[in-house]
A and B are shown apart, each in its own frame.
Chain A
């Protein structure tokens, strides 16, 4: 079975400050990890993914994520937050033996001016 945990329902950060949105996962095989962002009443937009290789993955809009196998984590980060980054962020995992993604419950990111 594959599962994802996003321990924070909401993250608040001031514009210009660094942000981190946490994600931990559980799989039986090799993990394939994804981050998506959702704006109000919209679908999910792909941000970045980890498949293999470098543990630091860079994605869209200045976001990056760090894969940590020993801690089974894949935290999303950005050095300097923008108000326009305010949205709902989902972490997702796919085990090497599965064809579908399993999502976390999501973390609301609020960036204040």
Chain B
């Protein structure tokens, strides 16, 4: 396994611009998660997919956020009309095949977003 891969690792954007992050999960992991982490806080759940289906969205995921996982492989997280409050690290994670709640969730290195 090559691990969860995220791109870009760092993004600086001007307020009002759109940004997109990509996540490639561990091969054959059917669940994919997006979390957001701000300084001094633990990761906060945003959304997750089982295969291509988006099964749950947090209320943190405002209308400006959209996530997709076409064909159940990689995923993208797009933020439209960015605001300074969107500045955070966006973490992608994936979990083992199967739906057991005991399955380990593996995280990528994160994508840092700075909105100026």
Contact = CB atoms under 8 A, between A and B. Distances in A.
Interface of A: 4, 32, 34, 36, 41-46, 49, 51-52, 90, 92, 94-96, 98-106
Contacts of B85: none
Given A43-B107, A49-B104, A99 B42 contact: no
Contacts of A92: 42
A43 B42 contact: no
Interface of B: 4, 6, 31, 33, 40-45, 48, 55-56, 91, 93, 99, 101-102, 104-110, 112
Q: Which 6 A-B pairs have the closest CB atoms?
A: A103-B42, A51-B102, A44-B107, A43-B109, A43-B107, A43-B110
B43 A32 contact: no
Contacts of B55: 99
Contacts of B104: 34, 46, 49
Contacts of B91: 43-44
A104 B42 contact: yes
Given A34-B104, A49-B104, A96-B101, 9 more contacts: A4-B42, A32-B101, A42-B110, A43-B91, A44-B107, A100-B56, A101-B45, A103-B44, A105-B41
Contacts of A36: 107
Nearest to B42: A103
A99 to B, nearest CB: 6
A95 B112 CA distance: 29
B114 to A, nearest CB: 13
B45 A100 contact: yes
Nearest to B45: A100
14 contacts: A32-B101, A34-B104, A43-B91, A43-B109, A43-B110, A45-B107, A51-B102, A90-B42, A90-B43, A92-B42, A98-B101, A101-B105, A104-B42, A106-B40
